[in-house]
Amino acid sequence: MAKEWQRAWLAFHPAARPLDWRRKMSDNIAYALLVYTALQIFVTVGALKTEGGSLLPYLALVVLVGAIIPACRRFERRWKRLTEVQAHDPTLASLFRRDRLGLWLLAIGLPFALTAMFQALNVLFA
């Protein structure tokens, strides 16, 4: 009974959980994908409302989906192969911050960058 209560308490108090870089990166990837998806929909819907009926916004959607999946897998794979000892090593904090920054720059920047590029191509070739 006490173990069940302890597990339930830890589930609602993440600060009490022991450090695990694998779990932290996995959580960051999940949140980054949510943000990425919301931005992708917002930015692409704006591009689809332009006049002309071009197929470029749809191509942008395909490229955006295809670009984020391998990148997220690369981040996750790097952190999932840590041993149990490495997963709790506080000296990996700077590497974790670097990867987290790269992940979030990609998740936030990629929808805007690719949509801008496809809109520029649309203007150039229209």
Higher per-residue pLDDT: 48 or 70: 70
pLDDT category, 12, cuts 50, 70, 90?
A: low
Asked if the model's pLDDT at residue 89 lies above 80, the reply is yes
Closest to 25 (Cα-Cα) out of 94, 78, 70? 78
Asked if the model's pLDDT at residue 51 lies above 60, the reply is no
Asked if the model's pLDDT at residue 36 lies above 70, the reply is yes
Closest to 17 (Cα-Cα) out of 88, 79, 99? 88
Distance CA 126, CA 121 (A): 8
Asked if the model's pLDDT at residue 1 lies above 60, the reply is no
Amino acid found at 53 = G
Report the pLDDT averaged over residues 23-50.
85
Q: Is 33 exposed, middle or buried (0-12, 13-18, 19+ CB in 10 A)?
A: middle
Q: Give the residue ranges of DSSP H helices in 49-92.
A: 56-80, 84-87
Q: Indicate the average pLDDT of the chain.
A: 82
